[in-house]
Amino acid sequence: MITVLEDMRDSVRDEGIHRAGEILKKGGLVAFPTETVYGLGADALDAGASAKIYQAKGRPSDNPLIVHIADWEAIEKITKERPWQARRLSEAFWPGPLTMILKKSDAVPYATTGGLDTVAVRMPDNPIALALIRAGGGYIAAPSANTSGRPSPTTAQHVAEDLDGEIDMIIDGGPVSIGLESTIVDLTEETPTILRPGFISQEMLQEVIGSVEMDRGLIAADSSVRPKAPGMKYRHYAPRAPLFIVEGERQKVQEKINTLTSAEHEKGRTPGVIATDETSGSYTHALVESIGSRADERSIAQHLYAILREFDRLEVSVIYSESFETPQMGPAIMNRLMKAAGHQVIHV
């Protein structure tokens, strides 16, 4: 059952959050909105509660959870040490879409960190999320609230599609504002390293703390180098139909996609195309969805997962997507799209 708290009167909202907080304190599961994607929350300091998250999502047990906090001071209890970069980055980007990896304290059970001695910490920028974290005891483990492997949820309805009946409560706070998971930066290495690209880019981090590297496991598309964030090694975000990214000069991409869709159409099947506002009129013989405008990269990030789910609903036979190398979020958008495509790229 979805509890709607978007645009609610204060008293209704407070009552809903109080109820959700009680569920979390008793070891239950509550899905809630953040600015990145919807999260599936449980008490991060309760091993039994964390274990329920893995069960509900069907998540591999070596894939650690991000602990969400609502106040900077909360970080002391769950980490062993806080390098200077942690404070600076929190001042610059928290609350916001940045997760930091730090050495964990004994307060955090291994059930939450997938057996690692490090812990991922984030302060989300969403009033419902912040109130819920406080109401639930201050430390809420929350991976994306989807069934493992499926596209992450950007609305409460997406959460219900995957998890209704499996969890205690779903809070509806409306569609999320960013639509891609947080940037993860590992501060336990000599040089801070990005383990997962997100809204906060490498350049934005470098402006605050100097040198920041990109995990080599992210750049090596052939997966010969293992990514350092355990979750990045799994096929993820995948729609049901095979997805191909078509890369190259814009005109050639359109021609290639039209050749592919008409061949598919001749076989009596219905392909899907992920286009942009600028190009959606140029495709034939396919169900065409515009992901947003090339002039507004936020719109592209916001709609990516919803489009992948929409093509599941439309039961297309195959999906062809344009590629989106936009300035700030391009690496994050292409990282998710490449994973959804299982790295199937057609160069023209």
Interface residue list for Mg ion (CB under 5 A): 144
Among 21, 64, 197, 331, binds ligand AMP (CB under 6 A): 64
Closest distance of CB 182 from ligand AMP, Å: 7
Which partner in ligand AMP, Mg ion, none is near 28 (CB below 5 to 8 A by kind)?
none
C-alpha to C-alpha distance for 222 and 239, rounded to whole angstroms? 21
**DSSP per residue over 183-213, as a string?**
EEEE-SSSS-EEEE--SS-HHHHHHHHS--E
Among 4, 8, 51, 116, binds ligand AMP (CB under 6 A): 116
Point out which span in 48-56, 79-87, 208-216, 224-232 binds ligand AMP (CB under 6 A).
224-232
Closest distance of CB 129 from ligand AMP, Å: 13
C-alpha to C-alpha distance for 30 and 33, rounded to whole angstroms? 10
Q: Which residues pair with 8 in a beta bridge?
A: none
Q: Which residues contact 13 (CB under 8 A, 6 or more apart)?
A: 5, 128, 131
Tell me: does residue 101 bind ligand AMP (CB under 6 A). yes
Among 90, 113, 155, 302, binds ligand AMP (CB under 6 A): 113
Rounded to the nearest 5 degrees, what angle is found at the Cα of 75, between the Cα atoms of 96 and 203?
Answer: 40
Three-state secondary structure call for residue 246: strand
Tell me: does residue 97 bind ligand AMP (CB under 6 A). no
Which of residues 233 and 265 has its CB atom nearest to ligand AMP in the complex? 233
C-alpha to C-alpha distance for 72 and 98, rounded to whole angstroms? 13
Task: Give the type of residue at 198.
Answer: G
Which partner in ligand AMP, Mg ion, none is near 120 (CB below 5 to 8 A by kind)?
ligand AMP
Rounded to the nearest 5 degrees, what angle is found at the Cα of 297, between the Cα atoms of 257 and 211?
Answer: 115
Point out which span in 60-68, 209-217, 237-245, 333-341 binds ligand AMP (CB under 6 A).
60-68
Size of the site for ligand AMP (CB under 6 A): 19
Query: What is the DSSP secondary structure assignment for residue 79, as one 8-state letter?
Result: B
Among 232, 253, 273, 286, binds ligand AMP (CB under 6 A): 232
Among 8, 60, 63, 175, binds ligand AMP (CB under 6 A): 63
**CB burial string 203-238: b at 16+ within 10 A, e below:** ebbeeebeebeebebbeeeeeeeebbbbbbbeebbb
Tell me: does residue 95 bind ligand AMP (CB under 6 A). no
Q: Which residues contact 197 (CB under 8 A, 6 or more apart)?
A: 183, 214, 218, 331, 332, 335
Point out which span in 27-35, 115-123, 282-290, 293-301 binds ligand AMP (CB under 6 A).
115-123
Among 60, 109, 137, 230, binds ligand AMP (CB under 6 A): 230
Q: What does the binding site for ligand AMP look like in residue numbers (CB under 6 A)? A: 63-64, 66, 101, 113, 116, 118-120, 143-144, 181, 184, 195-196, 229-232
